Structure formats: structure tokens, C-alpha cells
Amino acid sequence: MKNRALWIVIPLLLWLGLEMVSQRLDQGSYARAAWYEGALDRSRSGPIDFIFIGTSRTASAILPHVWEKEIREATGSTVHCRNLGRAFSGSPAHHFGLRELVQRHPETMRDCTVFIETTHGIPTFVERWEDKWFFPGNTQLAVDYMNRSDLWRYLRGPHDFESKAGVLGRYLGRFSNLVSGRRQLQQQFDWRVNRLTKRALHALGATEPETSGAALPAHRQLRQDRAGIALQRDLVRERTSPDILAAQEPLLPWEHRVVCQTVEMLKENDVEVVFFEMPAPSYVDIVNGTEVRRADRHAFAEWRTQYGLPLLETDLEVDDEDFPDLSHLAANRIEDYTKALARAFVKSPGKRSTSP
């Protein structure tokens, strides 16, 4: 009897304790508070004037405080900016997050402008509902703000059994941070222990890596070691292989892409939307220079014009040296880029008035 009680009491206490620890660990740029959860919290207490959504490139290249300062200096208004760009996020995750914001705080969102990342005039997010909703291991990004009908849609969709079971498990485990937030915990743990190990190695006199050229921004925990950069560069090179380019499929019709449906949802709720051009290294010219992509770009421009959505471009000049891993803008260029984008926004004819 005593033995059975131990098997109930100990796991329960241990679980609760670890659940509390995991809540405390949920901090930093991977934490929920740094994403839509933070934006929802902010919406309760004050306005959000600008929201940026995109991939890790947006996450690392847009500095909200620089943007706020530039806008304040140009317009005299105090503004609040949120960078909700996120590594491994996809359009369904942003769709659900923005929908949550619009539904829970419609008044706040009416004064907000949402910026969506594009590359060469094509949105970076091009998924359809029947495509994958998340990158492997990042299920929670899509599940966090999923509602029951989204879940049902996913379960009925053409997705494989493994991912359906994963989504269902994660959806049902949303009450527990250990279950639903485990990827963030993993990243947190990895980041913290890595930092400690580096300190220990430093104390032991380990050598610093030889650095050459520009560095990546540190604030979004991009991999900065040579291995990480080499892997990323290799991944990027694969995208320009003739086989991959030959297999490119048209993205038309744009109405079927989740990102366009997100725009429609935002427009229906009187939220302003602006597409912004993210600087890219020269390899992207090859990827987006194919006939298929040229047609896609043209069609997207038409779709955008139909909705009166501007595409913001900057006068910032970049070359391949500014992309240490061939993906993300170097640390020494991100401030310039944020400023250039803010200037371009201020000059653009369609800009909205900001909150006083």
C-alpha cells in the first residue's frame, strides 16, 4: 500500500515541481512571452503600433527599439513595435497568432500596421493549408493558438499520420508547459548550458575561434560557430542546385496561400498590412530568377495592387559579405537596415498615422 502511494505522490510532486521550473525557464527570445503571448499581454495594457512577422531573418534583422526611435524622430509620436519574426515559424502559426490578437483585442489592432517579410517581391511564407503547417520539431508554434476547428481541419487534411498524432498530442497537452513548451525548454536549456560551458572553457584557457568577416547578430541566438555557419551555407547552396531549381512549382493562385488569407483576415478587421523587402545575398537571385518565380512575382504584385498593399523597399546596399551564413544579415548591418526601412515607411504615401 505504502509502495503504491509512493508511485502516486512522488511522480505528482516531481511533475508539479518541474512544471514550475519550466515556467520560470520560459524566458528569453525563445520564450512564449517574446512571441504572440507577449503581444497579447501588451495589447491588454497599451497599443501596439507595428508588428513585424517573418522568419529568423526578420527576427534577427529588425530592431524594435531602433524602429521606435526612428519613427518618433520622424513623426514626433511615441510608438510601440513588436518583432514577431521567428525561426522555423510558418504562415499558419502567424495566421493563428494574428487572429488571436484581432479577436481578443480588435480595438488595439485597428491602430496597428502588420509588416510581412518578402524576398524579391515574393512572400517568404508560401504555404497552403494542405502543406506542412510547421517545421519538424516546431509543432507548438502552430498549435499554441490553434482552435478546435483548426485542429479538425488539420486532422482531416492530407498530412501524414505522424504529424497528425503529434499535433493532437500537443493540442491536448497545452495545459502543461513540459508537454507543449518542450521545444522552447530544449532551446532554453541548450542556450543556457552552452553559455555555461563556454565560460568554463574560457576559464580553462580554451582558444577563441579565428574570426574573419562580419558576425551574425547574437540577440536572436543564431548559430555563430563555424560548424553552424558551414551547415547553413551548405543548406543554402543546395537550393541553387539545378535539380531543385528545375523542380520549382508555381505558387499561383496566390489566394490559396495562407499568407494571403491572413492579409484578407487582417483587412477585414481594418488592420493595415505592408509587405517589406528583406535584403538577401546573391544566391537568392538565382532561386528567384527562374521563369516560374518571375511569373509568381508578377502575379503577386497584381494581387497586392488589387488590395492596395504597398511593398516597402530600402535604399540599403548589401553584398554577400553582409550575410555570414548566406541567410541572415550581419550584426553590423541590422541597425542600418532597420533605420532604412523606417525611413522608407515614413516616406511611403500609404503610411498610417500613429498613436500619439
Contacting positions for another protein (CB under 8 A): 3, 6-7, 10-11, 14-15, 18, 22, 136-138, 161-162, 165-166, 169, 178-179, 182-183, 185-186, 189-190, 193-194, 196-198, 201-202, 206-209, 224-227, 230-231
- 3-class state of residue 115 by DSSP: strand
* Residue with the three cell numbers 493540442: 171
Closer residue to another protein in complex, CB, 209/213: 209
Q: For 111-181, where are the alpha helices, taking DSSP H only?
A: 139-143, 148-156, 161-172, 177-180
- The DSSP bridge partners found for residue 113 are 50, 272
Burial call 161-178: b when 16+ CB within 10 Å, e when fewer: eebeebbeebbebeeebe
Closer residue to another protein in complex, CB, 178/252: 178
User: Minimum distance from CB of 178 to another protein (Å)?
Assistant: 5
User: Minimum distance from CB of 136 to another protein (Å)?
Assistant: 5
User: Minimum distance from CB of 314 to another protein (Å)?
Assistant: 32
**Nearest by Cα to 62 from 49, 73, 74, 50:** 50
Closer residue to another protein in complex, CB, 170/333: 170
**Contact 147/97 with Cβ under 8 angstroms?**
no
Closer residue to another protein in complex, CB, 110/199: 199
- The DSSP bridge partners found for residue 52 are 83, 115
Closer residue to another protein in complex, CB, 104/202: 202
Write the Ramachandran bin of 276: left for phi over 0, alpha for psi from -120 to 50, otherwise beta. beta
User: Minimum distance from CB of 217 to another protein (Å)?
Assistant: 16
Round to whole Å and give the CA distance between 280 and 127: 20
User: Minimum distance from CB of 159 to another protein (Å)?
Assistant: 12
Closer residue to another protein in complex, CB, 11/253: 11
User: Minimum distance from CB of 15 to another protein (Å)?
Assistant: 6
